[in-house]
A and B are shown apart, each in its own frame.
Chain A
Amino acid sequence: MALRIDPDHRRFRDIVRGKIKQDLRKYISQGELVGRKGKDMVSIPLPQINVPRFRFGSKDRGGVGQGQGEVGDALGKGEPGEEGAGKAGDQAGEHALEVELSLEELAQILGEELQLPNIEPKGKQRIISQKDRYVGIRRTGPESLRHFRRTFRQALRRQLMTGTYNAEKPIIVPVREDRRYRSWKTSPLPQSNAVMIFIMDVSGSMGDEQKEIVRIESFWIDTWLRSQYKGLESRYIIHDAVAKEVDRDTFFKTRESGGTMISSAYKLCAKMIEADFPPSEWNIYPFHFSDGDNWSVDDTVQCIELLKSQILSKVNLFCYGQVESPYGSGQFIKDLNEHFDEDDNLTVSEIKGKDSIMDSIRDFLGKGK
């Protein structure tokens, strides 16, 4: 039912969205959200939105209460009862604001803030088949769709409520408000035509902090792209000296160590594309995160070879994010820059710390390829 307050409520939500946008960096770099799924609600604590007034400072806060207790007894931390004497009334109480958003909404805000372009689906335009199904009930509709049983049920309910129902003489007369109509929903048949392949370096030189950054960044990329493509596929690869495919949970939680052979991951990635994702039908987005400290020059050469011959021609965009690490040489990004120029569908980004996650996301997705 539409409420009169809805416009005010929407307005308030808009203001809240604005506030979140302002502090987006802070929320984005929080690790806690990682691992949640799109429909999950996220609670975001906001500083109170209230109108300033001339009022007394908090130094003298306290009040009067009733009950047992000796002088000096604690009443509990924080705000007892919140409203002191006389403060109660028609005025809104003060409360820290906890705003709930779904991750999708948050990703939407992220997109607006970073001015990420909405990604155009590529490839042959698939005809999405749509299907109408009668699944719901509405209060309005054509008479031909009137739902007999629901209408009478509604009428019965009303008569019971208003006390006009007579069990002796059970005559139910529906009035206009009781009428219920079947309604349909149009659902497109699910189709997925994009895949993200996340590759993370989990070798020993990647410290916990680096891994955390990778997780947060890939999490937001994942969330953003999901909001762009319906039925998005994603695959996860972790590698040290050998690469293996893992599931989403493992990807976001795993801690391993060992040497680094980037080529192993690229090989696996190429194989994956070969086997499952024919590029004529799929938008393919591999994301590779590493500290750029590859095992040997030979391996780097092999990587570049792989990229040139097998990967870049098939993917929409290959993203390489290099996390700054105190141990690694950070050589790999330089090698990539040397061999590829701006025209290629390869984007590199250096991630200096949590704060630059946003910028890095923009580097990757800003192109809208």
Chain B
Amino acid sequence: MTALPPYLHDIQREIEGYARDYGLDFWDVEFEILDYKKMQEVAAFGGFPVRYPHWRFGMEFEHLSKSHIYGFSKIYEMVINNNPAYAYLLEGNSLVDQKMVIAHVLGHCDFFKNNYFFSKTNRRMIDGMANHATRVRRHMERLGIEKVESFIDSCLCIENLIDPMSPFITRRAAERTDKQKQADESAAAEIPRIRAKSYMDKFINPPEYLEEQRRKIEREKEKPVKNPSEPERDVLLFLLQNAPLEGWERDILEIIREEAYYFAPQRQTKVLNEGWAAYWHSKIMTERALKASEIIDYADHNAGVLATAPGQWNPYKVGIELLRHVEERWDKGRFGSEWNDCQNLDERRNWDKRLGLGKKKIFEVRRLYSDVTFIDEFFTTDFCLQHKFFSFSLNERTGNYEIDSREFHKIKHKILFQLTNFGDPFIFVEDSNHENRGELLMRHRHEGTDLQGDHARGTLAALVRVWRRPVNLLTAIDGKPKILRYDGREHTEKSVG
């Protein structure tokens, strides 16, 4: 790694100045220049200089090197959400590319610092990752690589089973205090009576009835408390608290969970974050930083970043276009009931109240929105039409992907479906003592799409590795409710209900 040479350092300062003028607000950024090999390494590590040892980083590296050799892809920019932020420039890129990347990175840094969804992330993750690496290495030295690695494999199968919103919400009421508990108990000790006039009481609440109520309460008390009391979406947390893990296993699972939560906001805000960065690199470059001689190269590379092939969803492009759309709407006052109710096409086309609220609005969007809410609120019919969106699906007869609709509702529904929970199914822990045999019962909240069978079975096997008892998954296949079960030896599938 090489520190920035003086001329690039000057450029960084210059562009940071422009960015601050526009109102961007970011932590210090440490740029480093990497050659392409090193760049691929860092990219394979998810942007970090060090990660815990695992073959999947090696696989990613192999893939990146191949794509590089065959010219499929080139990594332009990488930036870590950290304070100070770390970002990388590719050695040998032209000056205009470096400028563009610096501007783009500043957009990301502003987003990391100010977007609500990032507010709970570890801003010292660069150290965090290094610590994780050390911890895992220590376990490997003690227990052997194979053993630890295979447990990491199992944990990775379930790393997406987290509750991304949990840092922001208290899901459960806090543990009741002793006083409250006592109060609860004394209340429970009293057998509830049906209200009656005193002279009617022994008819309305006869001794048999009271006896029955008392027994009912007692039975209620004896009933084992269900664990979890509510379905739990943070499966990793549940396993950490309840699975019979050895010390090192708990440590590994904690590491995986911590990293999953660290990366979650980046997955939640892909479109908005990339759109925001693209918006600002484009603005900074075209309005301030570009020299006349650089325009052609800039335009060429920018076009590459924002290109879409048919059937491709480019978060950079969708994000920047939607942000510009929002800015225009709020600049021209195209919002509110007056705008929504207006049916006159001509009037709508020329609607301009000259409010100039656009910039304020997009900064608000960058602060408060995630991809789901961003699309949900601002992806309008107008935008959909204007930018020629379509939805496509596989035509099984021809084996081709075909455009299946240009209907606004269908398209929007599809986008939202694919963004919700990162396009993954919702899985909950239902019961840790299923059928009173210490088996784990999970539930897939079926919303119309079946799980992929082989993957589901593989994941169950990983869960059994962690839980050490059979694991059941309640799901549905072809519309019929089923329980998939794995007991460590064989997979079974059972119809229910």
A interface residues (Cβ-Cβ under 8 A, vs B):
1, 3-5, 7-15, 49, 51-78, 80-81, 83-92, 95, 97-98, 161-163
Tell whether A80 pairs with B392 under 8 Å between CB atoms, given A69-B403, A162-B6. yes
* Nearest B-chain residue to A95, judged by Cβ: B63
Tell whether A12 pairs with B59 under 8 Å between CB atoms, given A60-B393, A65-B310. yes
- A11, A87, A89, A92: the one within 8 Å of B55 (CB): A11
Can you name 12 A-B pairs with beta carbons within 8 Å?
A11-B55, A12-B59, A12-B62, A55-B452, A56-B449, A65-B312, A65-B403, A66-B390, A80-B309, A84-B418, A85-B423, A90-B47
Chain A residues with CB under 8 A of B309: 80-81
With an 8 A cutoff between CB atoms, is B451 at the interface?
yes
Tell whether A54 pairs with B424 under 8 Å between CB atoms, given A84-B418, A89-B270. yes
Query: How many angstroms from the CA of A161 to the CA of B7 in the assembled complex?
Result: 10
Tell whether A54 pairs with B427 under 8 Å between CB atoms, given A71-B404, A90-B266. yes
Query: How many angstroms from the CA of A3 to the CA of B46 in the assembled complex?
Result: 15
Chain A residues with CB under 8 A of B238: none
B388 near A62 with CB under 8 A, answer no
Q: Interface residue count for B (Cβ, 8 Å)?
A: 91
- B50, B308, B444: the one within 8 Å of A54 (CB): B444
Chain A residues with CB under 8 A of B400: 74-77
Query: How many angstroms from the CA of A326 to the CA of B268 in the assembled complex?
Result: 65
| B232: min CB distance to chain A, Å | 15
A65 near B389 with CB under 8 A, answer yes
| B72: min CB distance to chain A, Å | 10
A74 near B398 with CB under 8 A, answer yes
Tell whether A57 pairs with B451 under 8 Å between CB atoms, given A63-B392, A72-B402, A163-B5. yes
B57 near A52 with CB under 8 A, answer no
With an 8 A cutoff between CB atoms, is B349 at the interface?
no
B62 near A56 with CB under 8 A, answer no
Max count, chain B CB within 10 A of own CB: residue among A4, A8, A76, A162: A8
With an 8 A cutoff between CB atoms, is B362 at the interface?
no
Max count, chain B CB within 10 A of own CB: residue among A60, A75, A76: A75
| B388: min CB distance to chain A, Å | 6
Chain B 400-424 per-residue mask, 1 if CB under 8 angstroms from chain A, else 0: 1111111000010011001110111
| B201: min CB distance to chain A, Å | 56
B interface residues (Cβ-Cβ under 8 A, vs A):
5-7, 37-38, 41, 44-47, 49-50, 53-63, 66, 145, 149, 153, 156-158, 160-161, 263, 266-267, 270-271, 308-315, 317-318, 371, 387-395, 398-406, 411, 414-415, 418-420, 422-425, 427, 444, 449-459, 461-462
Query: How many angstroms from the CA of A14 to the CA of B55 in the assembled complex?
Result: 9
B311 near A75 with CB under 8 A, answer yes
| A254: min CB distance to chain B, Å | 36
Query: How many angstroms from the CA of A89 to the CA of B47 in the assembled complex?
Result: 12
A62 near B393 with CB under 8 A, answer yes
B46 near A90 with CB under 8 A, answer yes
Chain A residues with CB under 8 A of B423: 55-56, 84-87
Tell whether A9 pairs with B58 under 8 Å between CB atoms, given A75-B392, A75-B401, A85-B313. yes
Max count, chain B CB within 10 A of own CB: residue among A13, A55, A161, A163: A55
Chain B residues with CB under 8 A of A67: 308, 310, 388, 390
* Nearest B-chain residue to A49, judged by Cβ: B59
Query: How many angstroms from the CA of A227 to the CA of B201 in the assembled complex?
Result: 100
A61 near B393 with CB under 8 A, answer yes
- B41, B66, B314, B398: the one within 8 Å of A4 (CB): B41
A90 near B263 with CB under 8 A, answer yes
Query: How many angstroms from the CA of A66 to the CA of B461 in the assembled complex?
Result: 39
B311 near A63 with CB under 8 A, answer yes
Nearest first, the 6 A-B pairs at minimum CB distance are A52-B458, A80-B311, A62-B393, A12-B58, A81-B312, A8-B58
